[in-house]
């Protein structure tokens, strides 16, 4: 496609920045989550450098591809932070939500090993009855969250209070984060492997 994979890998660090904005400022509570956000960026940078050092020259493009995946997962992870931060003081619930996020990533790999995966199913596949439900999830979240229209959200907030953004919005973003994690992991897995085998 003519895209320089290394430039793309470096550019991919921008993606988590978009959602880190939500993770840092929503909701307006003091937590140690900012350190977690910084740690995620550091891990992604260090892992890229480490992989470049470890991988042989022929395999180094794979390091770049993996870093892009990591950054896209970080992008998804930061979607979940507003709700997890809002549940400050309820550590167990926060942990469950964290784990659930990573479960979604695992489920994506599991799903791709199925005959008819949810994401990019084979052309002639049958039994796609759950596919429509899967793609309806973000649409449903978008409806609940005001359709992405900030004026509508502002008016709803004026009417229902800040709790709407904190909890309802937080849940929407959390579900969206899990959905993105599942979706992107599926997409990348399908590109990286063929029946579970690394082909790049």
Binders of other proteins in range 44-63 (CB under 8 A): none
x/- site string to other proteins, residues 61 to 100, per CB under 8 A? ---xx--xx-xx--x---x--x------------------
Rounded Cα–Cα distance for residues 82 and 86 (Å): 6
* Cα dihedral 119, 124, 128, 134 in deg (nearest 10): 20
φ, ψ of residue 194 to 5 degrees: the values are -135, 110
Residue closer to other proteins (CB basis): 22 or 101: 22
Q: Least CB distance from residue 173 to other proteins, whole Å?
A: 6
Q: Which position among 127, 162, 163, 194 is part of the footprint of other proteins (CB under 8 A)?
A: 162
Q: What is the CA radius of gyration of the chain?
A: 18
Among 103, 39, 106, 99, residue whose Cα is nearest residue 74: 39
* Cα dihedral 77, 153, 29, 94 in deg (nearest 10): -40
Residue closer to other proteins (CB basis): 107 or 131: 131
φ, ψ of residue 145 to 5 degrees: the values are -85, 20
Q: Which two tokens stand for residue 95?
A: 């942990």
Segment near other proteins (CB under 8 A); pick from 44-52, 96-104, 105-113, 118-126: 118-126
Segment near other proteins (CB under 8 A); pick from 30-38, 89-97, 104-112, 115-123: 115-123
Of residues 133-152, which lie at the interface with other proteins (CB under 8 A)? Answer: 135-136, 138-139, 141-143, 145-152
Q: Which position among 30, 89, 123, 195 is part of the footprint of other proteins (CB under 8 A)?
A: 123
Q: Least CB distance from residue 156 to other proteins, whole Å?
A: 8
Rounded Cα–Cα distance for residues 137 and 132 (Å): 9
Q: Does 194 bind other proteins (CB under 8 A)?
A: no
- H/E stretch holding 179: helix 170-192
Rounded Cα–Cα distance for residues 55 and 110 (Å): 27
Residue closer to other proteins (CB basis): 45 or 142: 142
Q: Least CB distance from residue 92 to other proteins, whole Å?
A: 26
Residue closer to other proteins (CB basis): 52 or 141: 141
């Amino acid at each position: 496609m003519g895209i320089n994979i290394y430039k793309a890998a470096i550019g991919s660090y921008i993606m988590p920045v978009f959602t880190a904005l939500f993770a840092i400022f929503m909701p307006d509570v003091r937590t140690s989550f900012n350190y977690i956000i910084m740690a995620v960026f550091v891990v992604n940078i260090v892992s890229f450098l480490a992989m470049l050092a470890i991988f042989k020259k022929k395999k180094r493009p794979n390091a770049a591809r993996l870093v892009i995946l990591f950054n896209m997962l970080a992008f998804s992870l930061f979607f979940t932070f507003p709700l997890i931060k809002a549940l400050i003081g309820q550590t167990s619930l926060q942990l469950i939500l964290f784990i659930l996020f990573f479960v979604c990533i695992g489920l994506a790999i599991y799903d791709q090993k199925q005959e008819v995966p949810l994401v990019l199913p084979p052309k002639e596949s049958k039994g796609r009855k759950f596919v429509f439900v899967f793609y309806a999830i973000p649409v449903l979240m978008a409806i609940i969250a005001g359709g992405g229209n900030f004026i509508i959200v502002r008016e709803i907030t004026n009417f229902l209070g800040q709790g709407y953004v904190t909890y309802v919005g937080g849940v929407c973003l959390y579900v969206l984060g899990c959905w993105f994690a599942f979706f992107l992991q599926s997409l990348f897995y399908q590109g990286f492997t063929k029946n579970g085998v690394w082909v790049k």
